[in-house]
Structure 1
């Protein structure tokens, strides 16, 4: 984990020091990446505090633990992502482990939902990314190949909708796939606090990040469509004005 964190830190440092990005998307369209960083930070931090409360409880750990219990119990209904995470556990899992997984899953899922709501507010109410000035599609989407064929706008809409669909399905599919493969491989060993923290954080963060990416790409496609309509309208208006001037002359 330390090596992975060091590699990720070096990658982000090199990306932001260089004049043009190569991997990180929406680098010049804040607060997209800031929201994702805060989401994974608060998820790992909250789950770490809850795990610390098992050995060194205090008022703050008790508060987060109670909040996780409330949210986990509220979301733990049949076929919900939290219920599927609990079902993923082996049959011999202790009641304490089931309780910990339900609490951590509920709290992490709540943080991911709050992140999506905040980004939706920036998107619809504050007009992201237009409020930050001119938006350069090719710089903010370095992994998107505009020369792959076809019009750019339908491809952005298709990729955005695909990311949103996969983001909604992943919290349901991942536990189900692990449960179906339990005869071939052992389920993830979640009784270890570090394993549980990072596994559940990734389970909640990756789908939310994909939904945010899909929402951003569909928004960019909408901006391109609006710019095209304004350009076409201005061109038709200029052409009509030129025709009136010519007929008057």
Structure 2
């Protein structure tokens, strides 16, 4: 195979023999994919096309963005009950347009927003200020990470608990045309995890791993019941009816806070 590197360094465990498995089209680029035998991580070649892919921070085909944020806010509310989080600061890492931040503040949690590449449209005045954080959320972030370990180092320097979503890649590894999550039409997904990969990360950072199906995960310093975690994630609507009652909405208090900020601006 002329011009194709048969191995690349795994971006998770740094195994030097992450093996070439196939190539496929992302945007208009023909991209090579590699799979690590040690941690199971599947990655693209060096993603030279990202500037083009992120012409818009939120890709145009993300039609599920509102539904996903509502679902994640309910699951996060249930998790907060499980972890006994009520007034502590929560950070939504790479929080996009701040939809999740606003939803969680509407429910009653002190959620702050952070995103290096996206505008804060809905939670202005509630950006992350470097304070201690009890829980960090990162929904649909992991598959975008160019340097996963560097980003995880940053995340764990902020909080010992990371609640995140990423769809685990099936086994055997599907061809690019057989799995929608490769994201051929937007080119933003460059790394794909397996349960084996997440277990490797849990061991590396000395955390406990909890997963529901192939989609929602928690890396935590806390030991909790795996069964209870799965129940709260599966029946999120049912339990949300009760868990949301632990807190009071911040809608009015946030209005007052933003009014103060705006008054100061116009002094």
- Give the structure-2-normalised TM-score: 0.24
Structure with the larger RCO, 1 or 2 (CA within 8 Å, 6+ apart): 1
Higher fraction of helix: 1
Query: Which structure is larger by alpha-carbon Rg, 1 or 2?
Result: 1
- Give the structure-1-normalised TM-score: 0.25
